[in-house]
Amino acid sequence: MNSNEEIHRLVNAIALKNASEHSGSTNVNIVLSRILSLKPELKNELKTLIEEIRTVVDSVNKLDLEQQKKYLQNIYPIDNDFDSKSRHDQIDSHTLPKLQMTATEVVTRFPPEPNGYPHIGHAKAVIIDEEYAKIYNGKLILRFDDTNPMNEKLEYYEAIKNDLEWLGVKPDIIKNTSDDILVLHDYGKKLTRNGDAYVCTCDSNEIRRLRMQQVECSCRLNTDNLDSNLERLDKIFDGTYHQNEAIIRFLGNMQDKNTVMRDPTLFRIIEVPHPILGDKVKLWPTYDFAAPVEDSLDGVSHALRTKEYELRNTLYLEILDRLELRKPIVVEFSRLEFDNMPVSKRKIKQLLDDGLITGWDDPRLLTLSAMRRRGFDPNAIRNFVLSLGLTLAETKPPFKALESMNRKIIDPIAIRLFFVKDPIMLTVDDGKNMNVTLKNHPTNDLGTREVEVSTVFYICRDDAILLAEDEEVRLMELYNIKIKEIDLENNRAITASYLNNDIVRDMKKIQWVSDKNMTTYNILIPKELYLNDKFNPNSLESIEGYAEASVLQLKSHTPIQFIRFGFCITEEKKSSAIFTHR
Ligand code: ATP
Ligand code: MG
């Protein structure tokens, strides 16, 4: 939405709200002061703004109270998000605005298509749905929108259920749109018999062309000696027609500026077995048809949809009107997207088909299975999504914000260990053989570990190259040393001597592993999948180094922090971990 439209919508909403709260009338000054408190930058365009407000106020004051309330609901189905004063009213101190209430019970639904694994965008949608259901003591329905057997698989139903469970989402009802296929067929027949839909046998290119040209086809006009529409309806149901030979179209308006309304497809024949119903059903509704009918029959009070459906909302409501079915309130929110990381099943599938990623849980992805594998806590995802609220603006939040919410959760529970990348040997000539006890966490009681040390250690190359002869440094949590010789070229070795064990402020501290207590270790580091819109071939870095041997005793999927390196999570394979974030 451009900003003019947005301002127009806001002015309308403020005027309607104020009027409906004050016996049906409002005035320019009130609306002006409200909008300036929300958008102070509009002071620069005061003249146009006042003109706009005057027109709006005039027309709002002509409406009766009921009409004002109805219009307000149409343009702002969610209450309060435009009204700064009532921002304090926000529920549960997070960013979800109040819902406009018409029904007595709030029922929301999350309608994924089982055509892939769920991702963080789905998490946003389902968590908002669930949160509203909770706030209003209502219900959440998980409804698999499985009406396109071409793309759907049982594996994906399972994946969605599992991953939502991991997220902590607990639907009150789980169902499939395909459960209701006969009911949907009946409504399709009813619509056609009422003359609100028709069977079309034109080929798809022709349909597209006529749509562009805003011309009705012969099937709609039922000319050219066609069978009657009702005979054709029987044929589409009895299997006379095959895939691509006939569809049922909504009788919309070929002249409508909104192309969605130019006789959209409601049913099509798909002769591919359905994952649940097999070959029993061949005529499948589109999402355009199934969604409104299902929402209405399922008792959904608020249908939350992402903004890309905006143009389809008219169709959604029109179908329900023609079928004389109850209409839910449609509430929109923005799609969640990130820079350089695909949040769309279609794009992820493409990467899979091209063999560029290893699976739906490839750690570079933002699917829930990948994020779980990479060490994200489900509560971090929930907090993150709720912190974004119900914004309409298409903003791409920084991924770092999600990382920092996750860090807060795992920092207190991740044990600290040493890992050295690209190891360089360091010998402390006069160092003693001994056992030291190291704490697993600086402040929390996560236990201790015994580490045997001798005179030989390993440190990271990145640290080694910055050392100078005679420099004094601390081997973290052990003792201080003085560097004697550095030979990174030939021997790749450093020698040092024991200095003391004083804690000296500002002394450089480096991590180490002992040759008596180490294991080779591999860490996978996921990076952004795209660079300048192209696949980034270096998006998965694999690094080798030495870690403390005790890492091998950890169960798989244990969060750890390699000190001065970052948070990681252990993998099934004992000698490897995935990098979560710094
Ligand atoms: P994709 O492009 O990933 O296939 P989709 O919208 O086709 O997405 P569905 O399974 O149809 O996927 O989506 C189920 C619900 O999740 C829909 O209500 C949709 O609006 C919502 N949703 C999907 N992607 C996002 C996203 N990136 N941000 C917020 N909500 C999303
Ligand atoms: Mg979809």
Fold (CATH) for 87-111+118-333: Rossmann fold (3.40.50)
Q: How many helices (H) and strands (E) does the chain have?
A: 17, 27
Residue-wise pLDDT tens digits, 260-276: 999 999 999 999 999 99
Mean pLDDT score across all residues of the chain: 93
- Token pair for 555: 């169960």
69-88 mean pLDDT: 57
Angle at 566 between CA 563 and CA 570, to 5 degrees: 95
- Token pair for 72: 């307000």
Q: How confident is the model at residue 145 (pLDDT cuts 50, 70, 90)?
A: very high
| Number of the ligand closest to the Cα of 349 | 1
Residue-wise pLDDT tens digits, 483-537: 999 999 888 899 999 999 999 999 999 999 999 999 999 999 999 999 998 999 9
Q: How confident is the model at residue 22 (pLDDT cuts 50, 70, 90)?
A: confident
**What angle, rounded to 10 degrees, do the helices at 154-167 and 378-388 form?**
80
Nearest-Å Rg of the Cα atoms of the chain is 31
Give pLDDT, residue 77.
62
Q: CA nearest 17: which of 93, 88, 96, 74?
A: 74
β partners of residue 452: 435
| Residues 539 and 558: beta-carbon distance below 8 Å | no
| Number of the ligand closest to the Cα of 114 | 1
Highest mean pLDDT among 309-313, 334-338, 425-429: 425-429
Residues in the ligand 1 pocket, defined by CB under 6 Å? 111-113, 121-122, 124-125, 305-306, 335-337, 343-346
Classified as helix, coil or strand, 337 is: coil
Give pLDDT, residue 84.
40
Spatial distance between the Cα atoms of 517 and 454, rounded to a whole number of angstroms: 10
Read off the pTM: 0.84
Q: Which of 122, 160, 341 to mutate to test the pocket of ligand 1 (most atoms within 8 A of CB)?
A: 122
pLDDT tops 90 at residue 317: yes
Spatial distance between the Cα atoms of 119 and 343, rounded to a whole number of angstroms: 7
Atom of ligand 1 nearest to the CA of 308: 20
Spatial distance between the Cα atoms of 261 and 252, rounded to a whole number of angstroms: 5
543-564 mean pLDDT: 97
451-468 mean pLDDT: 97
Give pLDDT, residue 3.
64
Give Cβ neighbours of residue 498 (< 8 Å, ≥ 6 apart): 428, 429, 430, 431, 432, 479, 481
pLDDT tops 50 at residue 173: yes
In three state form, how does the secondary structure of 79-119 look? Answer: CCCCCHHHHHHCHHHCCCCCECCCCCCCEEEECCCCCCCCE
In three state form, how does the secondary structure of 504-550 look? Answer: CCCCEEECCEECCCEEEEEEEEECCCEECCEECCCCEEEEEEEEEHH
556-575 mean pLDDT: 97
141-158 mean pLDDT: 98
Shortest-distance Cα residue to atom 19 of ligand 1: 306
Spatial distance between the Cα atoms of 151 and 489, rounded to a whole number of angstroms: 57
End-to-end CA distance of the chain: 37
Give Cβ neighbours of residue 352 (< 8 Å, ≥ 6 apart): 359, 360
pLDDT tops 80 at residue 114: yes
Percent of the chain with pLDDT over 90: 81
Q: How confident is the model at residue 82 (pLDDT cuts 50, 70, 90)?
A: low
Atom of ligand 1 nearest to the CA of 125: 30
| Number of the ligand closest to the Cα of 343 | 1
| Residues 270 and 149: beta-carbon distance below 8 Å | yes
Give pLDDT, residue 226.
81
Spatial distance between the Cα atoms of 313 and 392, rounded to a whole number of angstroms: 15
pLDDT tops 80 at residue 350: yes
pLDDT tops 80 at residue 215: yes
Q: Which amino acid is at 65?
A: L
Residue-wise pLDDT tens digits, 421-446: 999 999 999 999 999 999 999 999 99
Phi/psi for 537 (5° steps) reads -65, -15
| Residues 188 and 289: beta-carbon distance below 8 Å | yes
Shortest-distance Cα residue to atom 20 of ligand 1: 306
Q: How would you classify the pairing of strands 302-306 and 329-333?
A: parallel
Buried b (16+ CB within 10 A) or exposed e, 542-556: eeebbbbbbbeebee
Fold (CATH) for 415-581: Ribosomal Protein L25; Chain P (2.40.240)
Classified as helix, coil or strand, 338 is: strand
Determine the distance separating the centroid of ligand 1 and the alpha carbon of 119, expressed in angstroms: 9
DSSP H or E segment with residue 558: none
Spatial distance between the Cα atoms of 559 and 561, rounded to a whole number of angstroms: 7
Minimum mean pLDDT among 87-96, 132-141, 355-364, 425-434: which range?
87-96
DSSP string, 262-304: SS-EEEEE--S-BTTTBTS--EEE-HHHHHHHHHHHTT-SEEE
Q: CA nearest 8: which of 40, 31, 41, 24?
A: 31
Give pLDDT, residue 562.
98
Give pLDDT, residue 80.
43
- Token pair for 337: 């997207």
Domain ranges of the chain: 4-83, 87-111+118-333, 415-581
Q: How many residues does the chain have?
A: 582
Minimum mean pLDDT among 35-44, 86-95, 471-480: which range?
86-95
Shortest-distance Cα residue to atom 16 of ligand 1: 122
**What angle, rounded to 10 degrees, do the helices at 28-38 and 46-62 form?**
130
